[in-house]
């Protein structure tokens, strides 16, 4: 994006969207890795209308844009992100329960894409509705969980999503049903630059003791196997069909490997942790090192689950 166009876009955004627009914002504080350089333009829209206006302007000026979400499963460049970084504001942090007295066995829940996934899971448990208890402990927001079809222990969000609402790159509001979302293993097939604003779930009533037990089991499994105390972005690689990436990485001797302050976790080899002051470049070099080692010994090329964004 040319400097003149960037300056004009900044002026338009500030005039149109006011205080939800900031410039040269460091992104490390907004990522679970605690890594990332500055965003040229950082916007936190609070309403669907603001998001629509934002996307129309981004498209009109031909500016690149990136939806940050909860900052998990991303590796932001040390050089930062050119263009516009979007992070949904507080107006997208809600859950509206549509439970009819005569239909208490199921509940339709409208959840803002900016709501914490963990908060939604625990709220459903308190109300006695199951279907998302497997997601206890998965970090990030509902929108991000939807985009990556978050799952664990044999379940995934695609099983309980009815529809989603979002905004296209032209600012059009669009609703998609489950079959149109293109759910697959840890991914979806949504239109380019489509930003999810709301997810509608259909949950079923279950005994609270059953839900609580499932959540406790999920929490225990994660506490036993996943690293704690160091910033990380969750699982680094997708599991190859029929195999586990972490076990493969450990088998080829990469557990504990380092590049600067980035380290393959000693607790779970499919995690890379920031031991203090790690850079994005160090993390990416370590990812490539692991990929090469697994390929050389197992002839399997591990596909990253973490997304690399920004200027590299």
Active site members = 186, 235, 305
Scan for tokens 């965003």, then name that residue. Answer: 39
CA 182, distance to chain mean position in Å, is: 17
Long-range contacts of 15-24 (CB under 8 A, 24+ apart): 16/53, 16/57, 17/43, 17/45, 17/50, 17/53, 17/54, 20/44, 20/45, 20/46, 20/50, 20/89
The C-alpha atoms of residue 80 and residue 222 are separated, in whole angstroms, by 31
**Which helix H or strand E contains 95, and what residues bound it?**
strand 95-98
Q: What Rg value do the Cα atoms of the chain yield, rounded?
A: 20
Backbone angles phi, psi at 203, to 5 degrees: -115, 155
CA 2, distance to chain mean position in Å, is: 29
Total Cβ atoms within 10 A of residue 63: 19
Q: What are the structure tokens assigned to 274, written together?
A: 């920031």
- Contact yes or no for 181/200 (Cβ under 8 A): no
Q: Which residues have a Cβ under 8 Å from the Cβ of 257 and sit 6 or more positions away?
A: 263, 264, 286, 289, 290
């Amino acid at each position: 994006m040319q400097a003149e166009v960037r300056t004009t876009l900044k002026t338009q955004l500030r005039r149109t969207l006011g205080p939800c627009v900031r410039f040269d914002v460091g992104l490390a504080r907004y990522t679970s890795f605690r890594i990332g350089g500055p965003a040229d333009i950082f916007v936190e829209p609070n309403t669907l209308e603001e998001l629509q206006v934002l996307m129309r302007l981004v498209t009109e000026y031909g500016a690149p844009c990136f939806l940050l979400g909860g900052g998990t499963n991303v590796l932001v460049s040390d050089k930062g992100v050119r263009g516009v970084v979007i992070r949904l504001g507080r107006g997208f942090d809600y859950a509206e329960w549509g439970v009819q007295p005569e239909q208490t066995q199921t509940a339709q829940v409208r959840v803002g894409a900016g709501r914490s996934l963990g908060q939604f899971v625990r709220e459903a448990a308190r109300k006695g509705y199951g279907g998302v208890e497997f997601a206890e402990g998965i970090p990030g927001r509902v929108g991000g969980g939807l985009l990556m079809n978050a799952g664990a222990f044999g379940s995934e969000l695609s099983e309980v999503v009815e529809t989603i609402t979002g905004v296209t790159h032209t600012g059009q509001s669009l609703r998609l049903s489950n079959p149109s979302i293109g759910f697959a293993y840890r991914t979806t097939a949504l239109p380019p630059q489509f930003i999810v604003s709301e997810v509608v779930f259909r949950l079923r009533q279950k005994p609270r003791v059953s839900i609580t037990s499932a959540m406790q089991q999920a929490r225990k499994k994660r506490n036993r196997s996943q690293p704690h105390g160091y910033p990380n972005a969750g699982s680094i690689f997708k599991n190859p069909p029929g195999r586990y990436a972490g076990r493969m990485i450990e088998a080829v001797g990469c557990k504990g490997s380092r590049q600067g302050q980035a380290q393959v976790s000693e607790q779970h080899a499919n995690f890379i942790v920031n031991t203090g002051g790690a850079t994005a470049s160090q993390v990416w070099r370590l990812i490539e090192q692991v990929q090469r080692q697994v390929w050389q010994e197992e002839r399997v090329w591990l596909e990253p689950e973490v997304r690399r964004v920004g200027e590299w």
